[in-house]
Structure 1
């Protein structure tokens, strides 16, 4: 591949560096990206290996003794506008050099390795920068656990939907709920004994299946529901025991013990990349199948987008977009345009419009009519009519 995503490693040569790079490789495999998609560059090799016009992200590994390395390289990357993530262990001020004092840092913990890997992928526009989670539960059985999860994940910078906390006054409740579900990355489902007895819980579960959204399923002690495990295409069940709850109390006021709560959040972070990749693949497959039906030659690129070369010499790039297209989707599209080296090119952000609220669909159509001509959105229900055009 001529076009590489570059990860630059700076600072101390610590064991944590390889752990994080290994996790990045795992997430790249989960996204089904080609081998060699990302190039790791050591600070000592930056003059010979670094390419300035290709995406780059740097990780600066701090030093517990304040022995800071690669300061000149770090300074040059900052001047170039390269994003640098400082990683410290106990104390930011003593372990990270002053030239990075204004950068948002992250403290290394085993539980944060997935998150660090995903921050890198987000910077390359390979994952959405918003980390959207939807909590599905039955109020009569698990309200306290749901609120506990909501607060814990919000603290970890997830954008969490919980019906009692996330719908503004005056909004149509059910429309907003379906909209937020379709725009989420992962569903955390609290599988309590009476979950499927609730009409709305059953509806939420069916909706997740229709949208092919991954589910992290917390199965209450001594309770299993075969229908959930068999119906969802991407379901990751975690069987709970009494020991997972504070004081082993299991009722609507029950809360999870903190170590187990941390484990759940790690699983949500891990599932996120796999689920987004699966939904992206499904969107690509459906679009390509319709294109073949009308003899449109659409090519799937290794970086998970599609291209079409028209007889008149124009080019179209189709970028699969999960959830509601945002401004960050346009930034990702610009990267694809640069990657292909096209000059005369238009871009279509293709997305599944099922359950997206009408006001958003109308807004996206308005943007199509009034803003940048070379980047527009194309919803799933219009794939056929668009591809029928000669």
Structure 2
């Protein structure tokens, strides 16, 4: 993931709502959200079109083409109720999947989209759910299904492991390939060898942790830097929770993803410097460069694929060697072999800093 660290612009169109919450959520990311001034066009901005009433169906922007913005993928529609989409959103944007934000609690959904659009947040939306089955099976399944509805890709061992594979090897790989580790901290979590192994692996990878702490559960040193949500009541194996609680958990996740990514980025950069102690943080990107400025390194927060190579290849010019670096501690052997094959045919390389 590569991005220049300059002020990004979000232009608000239509009838904006929850703007105070949006601006507050973006304040730590060098992103400015402002309403459109007629006649001013910013080529590298993201335009956000709010449909809040029938008058937003037919806007009058004399110097702005919504159709052109849609064609360039520079605009996204926002609406409170998706049932009102065709009544409140202009026809030029009818082909674009809208983001629904019913209340200010869901502003993190838009925040994550904006961060991903500008390359400030990785687009990997894999979430690893670690839980003790006998404590909270139904809640884990409820959370899994709700994350899917929120456009995440959760991993739950009872759903997500293919038939005929090495269970633990597959699980370890999926954990290392996830963006966030959700830790369902229940009273008997430590009674399982496997759940404790997952938490320890998460620490070795230095992933961001969202801890959902159940009354009666203990504190773990392994989760001392986690983002924490405290469940208001105890949980049993067959108990589910109100939709508002699930909403609040996902809202906390979305508002904390950048913070958790920063935690992992620092860990990766420290590991890179242990291999190449002379690298220097690049002032214009979130990468690093050699003292000779002939090599650049960019962090990859998951198990890399060819698209990651393509993303950073734009910085490979004039003989500059560009390398992505990642933590492949628990990468499956077949995937590792594929990455090595890609390294052999691509000018961009991927470096496993654990090797």
Work out whether the TM-score is over 0.5. Answer: yes
Structure 2 counterpart of 1:254, from 235, 239, 256: 239
Aligned partner of 1:60 in structure 2 is 49
User: Could you list the runs of 5+ residues in structure 2 that have no partner in the other structure?
Assistant: none
RMSD (Å), alpha carbons: 2.6
1:378 aligns with 2:351: yes
Structure 1 counterpart of 2:225, from 234, 241, 246: 234
Which has the higher mean CA deviation after the structures are superposed, 283-292 or 360-369? Answer: 283-292
Change in Cα spacing, 1:180 to 1:2, as seen in structure 2 (3 Å) is closer
Deviation by residue 1:208-246 (Cα, 9 ceiling, x = unmatched): 11111222222222x1313x1x2225213333233xx7x
Contact kept? 2:39, 2:62, Cα under 8 Å: no
Change in Cα spacing, 1:77 to 1:39, as seen in structure 2 (3 Å) is farther
Deviation by residue 1:37-88 (Cα, 9 ceiling, x = unmatched): 44556532664x72x4xx4322112241324243751436427614211112
Per-residue deviation at 1:298?
A: 3.2
Contact kept? 1:58, 1:82, Cα under 8 Å: no
**Separation in structure 2 between the aligned mates of residue 70 and residue 334 of structure 1, nearest angstrom:** 37
Give matches, 1:72-91, under 5 Å: 72-75=63-66, 77-78=68-69, 81-90=72-81, 91=84
**Separation in structure 1 between the aligned mates of residue 89 and residue 254 of structure 2, nearest angstrom:** 26
**Separation in structure 1 between the aligned mates of residue 313 and residue 55 of structure 2, nearest angstrom:** 40
Q: How many residues align?
A: 348
Per-residue deviation at 1:322?
A: 0.5
Aligned partner of 2:290 in structure 1 is 308
Deviation by residue 1:339-367 (Cα, 9 ceiling, x = unmatched): xxx53322101111111111111100000
Aligned partner of 1:212 in structure 2 is 206
Contact kept? 1:184, 1:323, Cα under 8 Å: yes
Change in Cα spacing, 1:288 to 1:95, as seen in structure 2 (3 Å) is same
Contact kept? 1:60, 1:84, Cα under 8 Å: yes
Which has the higher mean CA deviation after the structures are superposed, 69-78 or 86-95? Answer: 69-78
Which has the higher mean CA deviation after the structures are superposed, 61-70 or 203-212? Answer: 61-70
Per-residue deviation at 1:129?
A: 1.5
1:154 aligns with 2:148: yes
Give matches, 1:23-172, under 5 Å: 23-26=25-28, 28=29, 37-38=30-31, 40=33, 42-44=35-37, 47=40, 50=42, 52=43, 55-67=44-56, 68-70=59-61, 72-75=63-66, 77-78=68-69, 81-90=72-81, 91-109=84-102, 110-172=104-166
1:188 aligns with 2:177: no
Select the structure with the greater relative contact order (CA < 8 A; seq sep ≥ 6): 2
Give matches, 1:220-369, under 5 Å: 220-221=214-215, 223-226=216-219, 228=220, 230-242=221-233, 250-292=235-277, 296-308=278-290, 310=292, 315-334=294-313, 337=315, 342-369=317-344
Per-residue deviation at 1:284?
A: 1.4
Deviation by residue 1:244-265 (Cα, 9 ceiling, x = unmatched): x7xxxx4211111111111111
Contact kept? 1:320, 1:349, Cα under 8 Å: yes
**Separation in structure 1 between the aligned mates of residue 333 and residue 144 of structure 2, nearest angstrom:** 27
User: Could you list the runs of 5+ residues in structure 1 that have no partner in the other structure?
Assistant: 29-36, 383-390
Q: Secondary structure at the match of 2:110?
A: helix
**TM-score (normalised: structure 1):** 0.81
Aligned partner of 1:33 in structure 2 is none
| Structure (1 or 2) with the greater helix fraction | 1
